[in-house]
Amino acid sequence: MKKITLSLLTIFSLVFSTKAQDGFEQAILGNTKDAGNLIQAYFNPGIEGSINSMNSGWYHTAKVHKKFGFDITIGLNGSFIGSEKETFNIQQALGPGSSITSTSTTASTFAGPDTPTTFTVSRTIDIGGTPQVVTADFELPGGIISDFPIKAIPTYAVQVGLGLPYKFEVMARFFPETKFGDDGGKINMFGIGLKKEITSWFGPLDKLPLHVSLLAAYTNLDVKYGFGSQTTGALTVQNGAGEFGLSAFSFQAIASLNFPIINVFGGIGYNTGNADLRMVGTYTGTFNHAGGTEQVALTPPSLEFKSSSFNTTIGARISLGFFKLFGSYSLQDYNTVNAGIAFSFR
Buried b (16+ CB within 10 A) or exposed e, 247-276: bbbbebebbbbbeeeebebbbebebebbbe
205 φ, ψ (degrees, to nearest 5): -60, -25
User: Could you tell me which residue, 206 or 143, shows the higher pLDDT?
Assistant: 143
Q: Is the pLDDT of residue 78 over 60?
A: yes
At 11-58, the pLDDT tens digits run: 444 444 445 444 455 566 667 788 888 888 988 888 888 899 889 999
Lowest mean pLDDT among 165-169, 230-234, 299-303: 230-234
Within-domain flag for 1: no
Lowest mean pLDDT among 37-46, 222-231, 296-305, 316-325: 222-231
Where residue 268 falls among pLDDT bands split at 50, 70, 90?
Answer: very high
Within-domain flag for 6: no
The winner for highest mean pLDDT among 87-96, 200-209, 222-231 is 87-96
User: Could you tell me which residue, 139 or 256, shows the higher pLDDT?
Assistant: 256
What mean pLDDT is predicted for residues 266-275? 95
Q: Is the pLDDT of residue 1 over 50?
A: no
What mean pLDDT is predicted for residues 137-143? 82
pLDDT (0 to 100) of residue 43? 85
What mean pLDDT is predicted for residues 244-271? 94
Within-domain flag for 95: yes
pLDDT (0 to 100) of residue 288? 79
What mean pLDDT is predicted for residues 1-9? 33
The winner for highest mean pLDDT among 24-28, 99-103, 206-210, 294-298 is 99-103
What mean pLDDT is predicted for residues 291-301? 79
pLDDT (0 to 100) of residue 261? 93
337 Cβ contact partners less than 8 Å away, ≥ 6 residues apart: 77, 78, 80, 152, 327, 328, 329, 330
Lowest mean pLDDT among 189-198, 244-253, 286-295: 286-295
User: Could you tell me which residue, 7 or 332, shows the higher pLDDT?
Assistant: 332
Lowest mean pLDDT among 23-37, 127-141, 164-178, 305-319: 23-37
Where residue 271 falls among pLDDT bands split at 50, 70, 90?
Answer: very high
pLDDT (0 to 100) of residue 7? 36
Report the chain's mean pLDDT, rounded to a whole number. Answer: 83
Lowest mean pLDDT among 56-65, 74-83, 106-115, 174-183: 174-183
Within-domain flag for 285: yes
Within-domain flag for 18: no
At 239-254, the pLDDT tens digits run: 777 788 899 999 999 9
Q: How many domains does the chain have?
A: 1
Within-domain flag for 250: yes
How far apart CA 31 and CA 101 sit, in angstroms, is 12
Q: Specify the CATH number for the domain of residue 227.
A: 2.40.128
Other Cβ atoms less than 10 A from the Cβ of 287: the count is: 21
For residue 188, the enclosing domain spans: 24-345
Q: Is the pLDDT of residue 299 over 70?
A: yes
Within-domain flag for 224: yes
DSSP per-residue string spanning 272-340: EEEEEEEEEEEEEEEEEETTEEEEEEE----EEEEEEEEEEEEEEEEEETTEEEEEEEEESSS-EEEEE
- Asked if residues 240 and 281 have their Cβ atoms less than 8 Å apart, the reply is yes
Lowest mean pLDDT among 57-66, 119-128, 258-267: 119-128
Within-domain flag for 13: no
pLDDT (0 to 100) of residue 132? 80
